[in-house]
Structure formats: C-alpha cells, structure tokens
Amino acid sequence: MDFDLSDEQKLVADNVARLMKDKYGFEQRKTYAASASGFSEPLWRQYAELGLLGAPFAEEDGGYGGGAVEIMLTQEAFGRALALEPYFASVVLAGGALRHGATPEQRAALIPEIASGELRLALAHMEPQSGWNAFDVRTTAKKGAQDYVIDGEKGLVLNGDSAQKLIVLARVSGKQRDVDGLGLFLVDGDAPGVTRRGYATQDGRRAAEVTLAGALATPLGEPGRAGPAMARVIEDAIAALSAEAVGAMAEAVEMTTDYLKTRKQFGVAIGSFQALQHRAADMVVALEQARSMMYLAAMSSSDPDTAARARAMAAAKAQIGRSAKFIGQQATQLHGGIAMTHEYKLGHLFKRLTMIDMAYGDADHHLAKLGEGESLFD
Amino acid sequence: MDLGFSAEEIAFRAQVRDFVANNLPPAIREKLVGGHHPSKDDIVTWTRILANKGWGAPHWPVEWGGTGWDAIKLSIFTDEIQRGHAPESLAFGTSMVGPVIATFGTQAQKERFLPRILDLRDWWCQGFSEPGAGSDLAGLRTKAERDGDSWVINGQKTWTTLAQYADWIFVLARTDGNVKKQEGISFFLCDMKTPGVTVRPIQTIDGGHEVNEVFFDNVRIPAENLVGEVNKGWDYAKFLLSNERNGIARVGVSKARLAKVRRLASLAVYGDKPKMDDPVFRMKLAAAEVDLKALEMTQMRVIAASRTAPKGKPNPMSSVLKIKGSELQQTTTELLMDVVGPYALPYQPEQGDRWNEPSVGPDWASTIAPTYFNTRKVSIYGGSNEIQRNIIAKAILGL
Ligand SMILES: Cc1cc2nc3c(=O)[nH]c(=O)nc-3n(C[C@H](O)[C@H](O)[C@H](O)COP(=O)(O)OP(=O)(O)OC[C@H]3O[C@@H](n4cnc5c(N)ncnc54)[C@H](O)[C@@H]3O)c2cc1C
C-alpha cells in the first residue's frame, strides 16, 4: 500500500493550496460570491494557467494526463476554501461525460477548450421527478433531418445558468427508467428552444432548471448507449465530492479547535471542558474515517470491476454523508451562536456539507443499496 | 395511577382546537404550514384574537388577565396552539418580562406594562446575551450607572431576537463591579426609542433576519424603570429562565412537524414510489414518534409533579425536557430533508409578501433546508444542551 503522492501530484496539491491561501480568504470569497457570475472569473483563468482544468484528461485528448488523484487533490483544497468556481460542474461532471461518453474526435475538439478555461460546460442529467436515479429520464431525443431534436425538463443543473454549452442526458428509446436507450447530447446554452431558469443554491452556488423545446443537439458517442457512461460519471462525481467534503470537514474541525482554544466562558477557554474535548475528538474520528473513504473512492474509480466499483462508491458516499452530518452539526454546536451567522465561515461549511450529502444519494440511500448487495469484504 | 386525561381536560382540548380552527386567519395558517415565518403583523393579529378571547397570557395571575387554568390545561393550550400552526405568543413579553414584572415589579410598572403585553401593543425583546457572555451569562459587562433620577446604560447586547420590531427591551446590566459577579447585576426596562440605542441586524445562515446586535451608548432611562431591587437582577433572571424552560420541550411543534413529514412523504414521489414506502425512512419516522410520545409523557409527569412541588424552586427535570425536546425539533427537520431529497438545493429567500411565489421544484420544498439550518439554534439557545447536561449531572445525579 502506498498513500504517498508522486512529485507531480505533490506539485498540484501545493499549487492549489497556495492559491487558495492567497486568494480565497473568507472575506475575499464574499466578493466573488457577490459578483455577477457568483464566482471569480480571474481565478478561473488562473486555474487554467496552473493546469487544473486540464489535469484529469488524457494527453491524447488535449489534457495533462492525470486522473482521479488530481481531481481529489484539487477538490479537497476547494472544499477547505469553499471555492465557488464551476470546476465540479464543468471539469468533473461535463468533463466526465466527455471522457466516458464521447468519441475521440469529440474529446479532442472540446477538451482543449475546457483545459484552457474558454469553454464552460454543464451537465443536465437530472430531472424534476428523477430523485437520485440517474436513469430516470423522460426527456426525449429524436433524430431530425441532420441533428437530434430534444424535448423535456432538466432539473438542478449545476452552473447551468452560465455555461456556454450543456450536455443533456436524453432518451432515444426505451421506458422512463431503462438504462438502455439513453444518449448524451451537446446543446448550445443559447440555442433556440432552450430556456434556463437560473437560481442561487443553499450553499451559495448557482444552478438552473432547463426546459428544452425542440432544441437542436449533436450526439456525443453513440445515442442509446450512454447509460454505462453516465453511471461512471456519477461515480467520478461521488469521488470528487468526497474529496471536497473532506476538505470542508477538515476546515470545520480546524476552525472548531481554534475556537475551543480561544473562546472564553466562565473565565476559562471552553476547550478546557472535557465534554467538548470529547466531542471534538469524535469529530476527528469521523474526519479520518471520511478521509480513508475519499482515498478508496479515488482509487476505485479506475477499477474495471463494475460491481466492485459501484460498491466502493456507495460505501464512500455513505461514510462521507454520515461524517459530514456529524461534523457539520457538532462544529455548529460547539461554536454556539456565532455559527448561526451568515458572516462567519463555519455556517457555510455546514451548508455545503449538507448539500454534498444530498447530492447523488444521501447516506441512507447508499446504505440501503449496499444492504441489498454483497459484502464489502471477500 | 391514571394516564388518561379527565373528561373536562378532553373537552377543553377540543374547545381550544375548535377555537384555533375557527379563528386563525387562513392566510396565516397557510404560511406557517408551509414552514414560513409569520410576519410581525401576523403575530400581532393572532395575539389580539387570543387576547379578545381572554387567552392572551393564560398562565398569568388572573388579576392581570390570566385564566387560572392549572398546569395541565396550560400545557394542553400550548400544545393545541402549536399543533394548529398558529403563531406562538411573543415569549419575551408573555413568558419572560411579563411574569417578572407581575412578580417583582411595582404596582405602577404592572399597570403600565402588563396590559400592553397582553395584546401586544408593546413588543418586547430580551437583552441578556453579550458577545462575551453567552453560557456564562453572569459574566456580562454592560454597565448601568446611577445619575440623579436616571440610570445610564453603556454596553452591547447580541443575538437579540426580533429587536428590529421591538418597542421595549429588558436588559441585564452590571450595577456593582466589586462583588461576586451574580450579585452586581440589575434588571432594567428600556424604551427602544431612547437616544443611544442602536440595532444592527445579524443575518443567519438560513438567510433570515431574526437576531440583532443592540448597542447602548449613554442610554439614559428613568430610575423607575429598574425592576425590583438594585443588584438583585440575577435572581429575577433565574426566575425568568426557569419560566422560559417550562415550554421548552415544544412537543406541539414537533407533533405538527411530524404530521407534515407524513403528509409530504406521501406526496413526494421520486422514481416509482412515494418516500413513505421506503422502509428505512419509515423506521426513522417511527423512532421519532416513539421519542416524541415518551417526551410528551415525561412532560406530563413533570407538570403533574409541579402541582405539589414547592413554588419557585427550579426543577432539573426541565433540562431533560430541553435536551430531548430540542433534539426532536432537529430530528423532525432532518426527516423533512429526507423527504425533499435533491430539491433541498435551490435557495429561494423569503421576501416579505413574496413568500407565496412559484418555487423551483415542489412547491413545499423551499423552506425545508432553511428550517433544517435554522433549527440548529434550538440546542444552542435557552441554555445550551451541554449546559443542560451539566445541570443534570449536578442537580439530578449529584456528580
Ligand atoms: C437564534 C438565536 C436567538 C437568540 N435569541 C436571544 C435573545 O433574544 N436574547 C438573548 O439574550 N440571547 C439570545 N440568544 C443567545 C443564546 O442564549 C446564546 O447563544 C447561548 O446562551 C449560548 O451562548 P454563546 O452563543 O455565546 O455560546 P458559548 O457560551 O460561547 O458556548 C459555545 C459552546 O461551549 C459550550 N459550553 C459553554 N460552557 C460550557 C460548560 N460549562 N460546559 C460544557 N460546555 C460548555 C456550549 O454548550 C457551546 O457548545 C440567541 C441565540 C441564538 C442562536
């Protein structure tokens, strides 16, 4: 076993950590959040210059030849800082759809533009009725004269309000919840027939409900066979969110520790109360368990055994969800009233952690799935 | 032993329930069922409806407008108000400063303030906590100095709930810095319009504005606005907090929320079946109901025992009610999060009259995440749950 990073990976981690330290103080973050796009455009360009946006893509596709570990390191640092830029939406989700679902020519055409920061994509896969079932798709794609024509409603499209292009999951055949018969389609964000209702999210980001009415689209890969690719995209998303959650949890534990040392009541630091020491110690246990499952998720994302990979991801997401809830709630409790204020970072960490639990299946959802299947052990 | 209510109590419950059903304006009810906050006007409107009926502050002495109901009827009343999705009466007036004035105030203070609390002509807020004095309330530093016929107050309060609407604030301030910290505190009544009082809003994590900082800069109030004796404020505060903790289990609030959980869980269909068909979810819901049933019984035991207990002695069992009651309020908001699933995500702030605008996702979804976030407060305020555990360890277990 080797938990050490390669030199290149260390460089990625150091670079992002330094950038976050310089540019992502909580006060700086407030100015990014208040800007028109809701994130920092200059930083987005800097991510491109540092190679973060191209890191997880293969070199032959125009990327820099990294993978899950690079995403993990980046997301962990973003999680600590609560970075607002659409890295997850554009690079992990939409980029994942390209990696797993597009043809080599399509990848070669689009990935360099993602890597350079010029093109921001959003993945429109969920629907108002779909819950956490990625294959529950009513939106239809029909072959037209040249392009495909898409009709339907997509929901909770992360950064879908500002992305130049959308990758839309739509059904070319089969029934509403069939894995077969799905296709990924590239649609221009401003194409005729596309209506986007953008809104802020609980964790201070942006998303959109997207209505497609006869929107023209180009298929990515082979229409009808996108189901397995979609499953892998969601696994990658779970691995990436696990890392982001670990970053946010680590930050919450650190803030709480600092607070316990400095906040005085009854003439002493509240960290001198053993009841609080033990609670903080339990938070460390929860954090370390989550960190381990973050590694498992990153390592498993290239496991060729589909069933084993799915189990590992479900296990990771279940652990992340439970740790995130415990740490979010306890960090709030140990801070007292100050944690309830919008001005203070901790509440934002709590909200982001809550929303990570709610994305791609909460802890109960994955535990139920695991309970129905085989053991995690041989 | 008889665990049932008497025929009279059952009839009383029905009477209150009918009154709420027939007199609560439907628009207010609809708003509260949806998980939205009542506006100032909503609270005033409903309080006056109750006051007209003679139910503005049922637990007060009869001569000041109370009802003379016993502890069981009082608890049935509160339960029905909460279950009926009616706004609760403004505790700062009816449960906090009102009983303090009625018990320790002068005749002039009683006549001046109590009637105006009853029908909410005066909106009160609670100026206890300070940046440096939370759990350690007696560590407060706001000072009041005597100057002729006045007291002059300087300092800062924080977390002051709904101070933005308040006409009056009751303030704990230090009047003697040379004695044990509990023994140098006095209890004052201060008009919010007095020069030198400044209110600064604090936005909470759910996006709402319910708490404030209140600054006192040479605020001069008449000497007659001291309650009781100088330097005895801590005793009055303890009396007040023990009243505050009585209703703290909030059983009716959790009952109402569990009913909402059930209703929405049958409505929320993701995939091919409603959330209510999910066995994991049903077990969690059942566990919460078991907890709440037990809490309701525990509360009744505490109330029954209180009828024969010596007056004015704090009962450490109220800490049991506070811990379990706050945890259940939080659990029920988590169950709503389970129901809403991914559509917890959109943030749709309430803005005055715009609370009823079409929402992103199911029309019942928008208040669920904010309520979950906001409800974390209930284990922090009113004596944090850690402080309650300290009380149980000391006062019940003698550790
Ligand atoms: C939404 C909201 C509304 C409020 N409204 C009002 C209001 O209207 N008026 C008013 O006066 N106040 C109000 N409060 C203040 C509230 O009473 C305080 O927040 C509470 O007393 C806790 O104080 P604190 O926030 O300073 O936390 P602290 O006292 O600093 O506590 C921080 C942590 O330390 C723990 N702790 C402290 N002492 C001990 C100990 N001895 N042993 C073990 N653990 C300990 C606490 O449990 C907590 O986990 C409100 C608070 C909130 C959040």
State the complex-level ipTM.
Answer: 0.97
Q: How far apart are CA B160 and CA B124, in angstroms?
A: 10
Check residue B311 and give its pLDDT.
Answer: 66
Dist. CA A312 → ligand 1 center (Å): 41
Nearest to A156 among B284, B345, B347 (CB): B345
Residue nearest ligand 1's atom 7 by CA: B160
Question: Contact, B275 vs B297, CB < 8 A?
Answer: no
- pTM score, two decimals? 0.97
Measured between beta carbons, the chain A residues lying within 8 angstroms of B280 are 364, 367-368
Looking at the complex, report in whole angstroms how far the Cα of residue A88 sits from the nearest Cα belonging to chain B.
16
By C-alpha distance, the chain B residue nearest A274 is B386
pLDDT of residue B354: 59
Residue B349: per-residue pLDDT: 82
Q: Tell if the CB–CB gap between A126 and B342 is shorter than 8 Å.
A: yes
> Do A260 and A338 lie in a common domain?
yes
- The answer to whether residues A22 and A40 belong to one domain is yes
Residue A127 and residue A60 in one domain? no
Chain B interface mutation, best of A153, A159, A272, A340, highest count of B Cβ atoms under 10 Å: A340
* CB–CB contact B376 A340 (8 Å): yes
**Looking at the structure, do residues A317 and A252 belong to the same domain, yes or no?**
yes
Cα–Cα nearest to B199, from B175, B225, B151, B167: B167
Q: What are the structural domains of chain B?
A: 7-89 (1.10.540.10), 124-231 (2.40.110.10), 245-396 (1.20.140.10)
For residues A148 and A113, state if they share a domain: no
Give the CA count within 13 Å in the CB-facing half-sphere of A155: 24
In a domain, A377, yes or no: no
| CA nearest neighbour of A281 among A257, A261, A246, A255 | A257
Chain A CB within 8 Å of residue B139 CB: yes
Give the mean model confidence (pLDDT) for residues B168-195: 98
- Residue A81's domain spans which residues? 7-119
Distance CA A337, CA B380 (A): 7
CB A160 within 8 A of CB A90: no
pLDDT score, position B245: 57
Co-location of A111 and A180 in the same domain: no
Is B358 touching A (CB cutoff 8 A)?
Answer: no
Per the document, the length of chain A is 378
Rounded Cα distance between A6 and A11, Å, is 9
Q: Which helix (H) or strand (E) holds A171?
A: strand A165-171
Q: Is residue A378 part of a domain?
A: no
The tokens for A10 are: 């260390």
pLDDT for B351: 62
Q: Looking at the partner chain, which of A132, A336, A364 has a beta carbon nearest the beta carbon of B134?
A: A336
Cβ of A276 closer than 6 Å to ligand 1, yes or no, is yes
CA distances from B12 to B18, B19, B23, B205, B343 (A): 10, 11, 16, 40, 41
Q: Which of B381, B389, B390 to mutate to test the pocket of ligand 1 (most atoms within 8 A of CB)?
A: B381
Residue B244 confidence class, pLDDT cut points 50, 70, 90: low
Res. B355 pLDDT band, cuts 50 70 90: low
Q: Which of A119, A140, A162 is the last residue of a domain?
A: A119
Residue A263 Cβ contacting ligand 1 at under 6 Å:
yes
Chain B contact for A202, CB < 8 A? Answer: yes
How far, in Å, from the CA of B2 to the mean position of ligand 1? Answer: 39
pLDDT of residue A145: 87
Min Cα distance A347 → chain B (Å) is 6
Judge contact between B57 and B65, C-beta under 8 A: yes
* Residues A340, B380: C-beta atoms closer than 8 Å: yes
The number of the ligand 1 atom at minimal distance from the alpha carbon of A338 is: 25
Cα angle: B359, vertex B363, B368; to 5 degrees: 95
Which of B135, B272, B379 is facing A265, going by the closest CB pair?
A: B135
Within a domain: residue A127?
A: yes
Could you tell me if A58 and A185 lie in one domain? no
Looking at ligand 1, which residue's alpha carbon is closest to its atom 33?
A334
Domain identity same for A321 and A269: yes
The answer to whether the CB atoms of A128 and B338 lie below 8 A apart is no
A115 and A126: one domain? Answer: no
pLDDT at B115: 97
Inter-CA distances, A127 with A11, A210, B277, Å:
39, 9, 21
Residue A113 C-alpha, separation from nearest chain B C-alpha, in angstroms: 29
Residue of A nearest to B279 (CA): A368
Residue A2 lies in a domain: no
pLDDT at B356: 64
Q: Which of A119, A146, A164 is the last residue of a domain?
A: A119
B188 membership: H or E segment, kind and range: strand B185-191
What b/e sequence results for B313-335 when a residue is b if at least 16 CB atoms lie within 10 Å of its CB, and e otherwise? eebebbbbbbbbbbbbbbbbbbb
Interface of A with B in 100-129 (CB under 8 A): 126, 128-129
pLDDT class of B352 with cuts at 50, 70, 90? low
Is A60 contained in some domain?
A: yes
A220 and A274 belong to one structural domain:
no
Q: How far is B380 from chain A (nearest CA, A)?
A: 6
**What average pLDDT score do residues B209-223 get?**
97
Whether A114 and A136 share a structural domain? no
Q: By alpha-carbon position, which residue is closest to atom 27 of ligand 1?
A: A336
Mean pLDDT of B377-391: 96
**What is the per-residue pLDDT for B264?**
97
In a domain, A90, yes or no: yes
Out of A204, A225, A246, pick the residue that ends a domain.
A225
Kindly report the CATH number assigned to the domain that includes residue A242: 1.20.140.10
> What value, to the nearest 5°, has the Cα angle with vertex B285 and ends B281 and B288?
140
Cβ(B108)–Cβ(B224) under 8 Å?
Answer: yes
d(CA B261, CA B337): 9
- B384 interface with A at CB cutoff 8 Å: yes
Query: By the CB < 8 Å criterion, does B5 face chain A?
Result: no
Total domains in chain A come to 3
Is some CB atom of chain B closer than 8 A to the CB atom of A278? Answer: no
Identify the CATH number of the domain in which residue A160 sits: 2.40.110.10
Residue of chain A whose Cα is closest to the Cα of B362: A128
**Relative to the CA of A270, which ligand 1 atom is closest?**
34
Let me know whether A52 and A113 are in one domain.
yes
What span, in angstroms and rounded, lies between the C-alpha atoms of A30 and A20?
Answer: 14
B353 falls in which pLDDT band (50, 70, 90)? low
Distance CA B45, CA B34 (A): 19
Decide if B205 and A133 are in contact by the 8 Å CB cutoff: no
Predicted confidence at residue B305, as pLDDT, reads 83
- Is there a contact between B344 and A202 if contact means CB atoms under 8 Å apart? yes
| B136/A contact by beta carbon, under 8 A | yes
Chain A partners within 8 Å of B348 (Cβ): 199
Per-residue pLDDT of chain A (378 residues; tens, 9 = 90+): 678 899 989 999 999 999 999 999 999 999 999 999 899 999 999 999 999 999 999 999 999 999 999 999 999 999 999 999 999 999 999 999 999 999 999 999 999 999 999 999 999 999 999 999 999 999 999 998 889 999 999 999 999 999 999 999 999 999 999 999 999 999 999 999 999 999 999 999 999 999 999 999 999 999 999 999 999 999 999 999 999 999 999 999 999 999 999 999 999 999 999 999 999 999 999 999 999 999 999 999 999 999 999 999 999 999 999 999 999 999 999 999 999 999 999 999 999 999 999 999 999 999 999 999 989 997
A344 Cβ inside 6 Å of ligand 1 = no
The pLDDT, as a whole number, for residue B312 is: 64
Residue B241 confidence (pLDDT): 83
Residue A83 falls within a domain, yes or no?
yes
Mean pLDDT of chain B: 94
pLDDT at position B320 over 60: yes
